[in-house]
Chain A
Amino acid sequence: MTTGVGSTEPEKSGGADLRGAGAGSWEPVIGLEIHVQLKTETKMFCRCRNGFGGEPNSQTCPVCLAFPGALPVPNRRAIEETIKLGLALDCTIAERAVFHRKNYFYPDNPKAYQISQYDEPLCARGHLDVPTEHGVTRIGITRAHLEEDAAKNVHVAASGRIHGATATLVDFNRCGTPLVEIVTEPDIHDAETAKRFLQLLRQTVVELELSDAELEHGSMRFDVNVSVRPAGSDELRTRTELKNMNSFSFAAKGIEREIARQIRIYEDGGVVEQETLHFDPAHEESPPLRSKEEAQDYRYFPEPDLVPVEPGKDLVDRLRATLQVLPGARITRIAETLSFYDADVLVTGGLDRLWTSLVDAGADPKEAANVLANQFVAAGIDPGTVDAGELAKLVSARAEIPRAAFDEALAKVGERGFSADPYLEQKVVADTAELDPIIQRIIDANPAQAEQYRSGKEGLLGFFVGRVMKETGGSADPRVVNERVRALL
């Protein structure tokens, strides 16, 4: 178990400094609640299209508008995909699952109840093993259940903020689309693990092809519960809930900030109040809006318009058979060859299968990982379109061909019929006899910079190297240029 609040993230995040006096004596307790939008063809309880776009309210029907008399009919595929996710999370699949009504009034909730699951969810008691640098951290999954999404409210006001709105406009297109809600045990004790868990979960649902899980589109959303307690105790103190975060690093920062705040309160002899922190995803820098939680009484009861779901062994076995090796296991396996960090980046970036192909085709594992995690990602190419053999040739020749040629080739590596050969013929210029006159000419043309460099401003080295690379059209070997600029200056 992790103690203290130290982060294991290689690049230190800009979060609050938690190593102040006494910080080591507090243990954060973090639980997550994640909603993932399933990418079925139709909604959860009606056969309206489930998808983005379309004029407001154009993807609606009597059921998702809650017209009098309309009744829900569950989507078989949504049920199956939830079971699949449950299996991927090592959950027990219920022999009998029941939909419940969760009652509350809001403009985006047209029935004034959400059909959800309560004490008989489809999936329960699972876990996700999150690989870390120091081995695997097992995060318990309390449950994964199926429910319907709400409509979209647009709060119309001059300021664009909720407060002071003059009207609420409602678009029911999203209303009733299938959502899987995943709830973790409070097994997470630092922001970095929370972030890793979320990334791994995201990759898992994407690979299962259940969801696009795009944070920016809201097809994956999560709330974080944070509390702290004296290290070594097992009490559960008052927690605050962080809502509306739209990126994993933003979440990690928010968690660290909240942990620090709670520690400060306790150390000042105060009491943490139960409240919800609403972040404004559009303005990451603005402080979260805090709201006291109104005592909710959702009056859950079994949804009488629906009958139970009894998946049966055959269905569960059939779905289990479709599961491939999951991302967590692949990180652990790849970390035997690469650093944990590289393995994590490759897998959660959806690049590890291509990496494996590159290595199989003869590329150096570390080189291949570097190229994929940097230039390849930057070029925005779909890994599925790439001929691994050609890319492997390119990776292996990276040091020998001009940078410009490499970049150009990489940009085209996803094109049909791409061949690396024309680029491999271009050779990098490493001959000092050829390079020195050019370098000297550039030094002479920039006497002021040269003087500054000599008086200790070493950062100007890059200025000269850049000029040389430009002058040579990128064909110079940067390593040699570096060396020679230093020498000639």
Chain B
Amino acid sequence: MARITRDEVLHVARLARIELSDDEVAKFQEQLANILEAVSKVSELDLSDVPPTAHPLEIANAWAEDVPRDCLPLDEVFANAPDRDGDYFRTPPA
């Protein structure tokens, strides 16, 4: 299961919205294959009856009361915006 095909590299790159040149696809295919080879080690263990751990802290119900706090002023909202149209963020058409 350690192999990763060229198509799979392109698929995950698309999922992650990373544009790859042809050279990069080849480079990453080899590196990702090596990494996957190494991490596939996890499948060696017998893990039947072992529950997953998503989080090292065993706590629950961390929440806040429904009480408003101040929002950001607009100059801070847009302080780092690459493109703005009035009080909207602007992007190329979706």
Q: Name A's B-contacting residues (CB within 8 A).
A: 40-42, 47-49, 55-62, 65, 73-79, 96, 98, 103, 105-107, 153-157, 165-172, 297, 299, 302, 304, 306-310
Contact residues in A for B86 (Cβ distance below 8 Å):
56, 169
A57-B74, A74-B63, A75-B63 in contact; A42/B68 too (CB < 8 A)? yes
Cβ of B15 under 8 Å from chain A: yes
Nearest first, the 3 closest Cβ-Cβ pairs linking A and B are A169-B88, A77-B66, A165-B93
Q: Compute how far the CA of A243 lies from the CA of B61 in the bound complex, rounded to whole angstroms.
A: 34
Let me know if B94 and A76 touch, CB within 8 A.
no
Q: Compute how far the CA of A167 lies from the CA of B88 in the bound complex, rounded to whole angstroms.
A: 11
Q: Name B's A-contacting residues (CB within 8 A).
A: 15, 17, 54-55, 57, 59-69, 71-72, 74, 77-78, 85-94
A210 to chain B, nearest CB (A): 13
Let me know if A75 and B71 touch, CB within 8 A.
no
Q: Which of A56, A167, A171, A302 contacts B92 (CB 8 A)?
A: A167
Contact residues in B for A105 (Cβ distance below 8 Å):
17
Let me know if A304 and B55 touch, CB within 8 A.
yes
Contact residues in B for A297 (Cβ distance below 8 Å):
15
Let me know if B15 and A74 touch, CB within 8 A.
no
For chain B, what secondary structure do more than half of its interface residues adopt (helix, strand, loop), or is it mixed?
A: loop
Q: Compute how far the CA of A310 lies from the CA of B58 in the bound complex, rounded to whole angstroms.
A: 12
Q: Which of A42, A55, A155, A169 contacts B66 (CB 8 A)?
A: A42
- Given A61-B71, A75-B63, 8 new contacts (CB under 8 A): A42-B68, A47-B69, A57-B87, A153-B94, A155-B94, A170-B90, A307-B59, A307-B60
Contact residues in B for A79 (Cβ distance below 8 Å):
63
B88 to chain A, nearest CB (A): 4
Q: Compute how far the CA of A105 lies from the CA of B69 in the bound complex, rounded to whole angstroms.
A: 28
Contact residues in B for A170 (Cβ distance below 8 Å):
88-91
Contact residues in B for A98 (Cβ distance below 8 Å):
54
Contact residues in A for B78 (Cβ distance below 8 Å):
57
A76 to chain B, nearest CB (A): 4
Contact residues in B for A157 (Cβ distance below 8 Å):
93
Let me know if B61 and A310 touch, CB within 8 A.
yes
B93 to chain A, nearest CB (A): 4
Q: Which of A76, A96, A107, A168 contacts B63 (CB 8 A)?
A: A76
Contact residues in A for B87 (Cβ distance below 8 Å):
55-58, 171
Contact residues in B for A56 (Cβ distance below 8 Å):
86-88
Let me know if B64 and A168 touch, CB within 8 A.
no
Contact residues in A for B60 (Cβ distance below 8 Å):
96, 307-310
B52 to chain A, nearest CB (A): 8
Q: Which of B61, B64, B71 contacts A307 (CB 8 A)?
A: B61
B70 closest partner in A (C-beta)? A61
Contact residues in A for B55 (Cβ distance below 8 Å):
302, 304, 307
Let me know if A47 and B64 touch, CB within 8 A.
yes
Q: Which of A41, A77, A169 contacts B90 (CB 8 A)?
A: A169
Q: Compute how far the CA of A291 lies from the CA of B26 in the bound complex, rounded to whole angstroms.
A: 33
Question: Which of A47, A297, A304, A306 has the largest count of B CB atoms less than 10 A from its CB?
Answer: A47
Let me know if B61 and A167 touch, CB within 8 A.
no
Contact residues in B for A171 (Cβ distance below 8 Å):
87-88
Let me know if A78 and B66 touch, CB within 8 A.
yes
Contact residues in A for B77 (Cβ distance below 8 Å):
57-58, 60, 65
A8 to chain B, nearest CB (A): 42
Question: Which of B55, B61, B65, B66 has the largest count of A CB atoms less than 10 A from its CB?
Answer: B66
A167-B85, A169-B88 in contact; A75/B54 too (CB < 8 A)? no
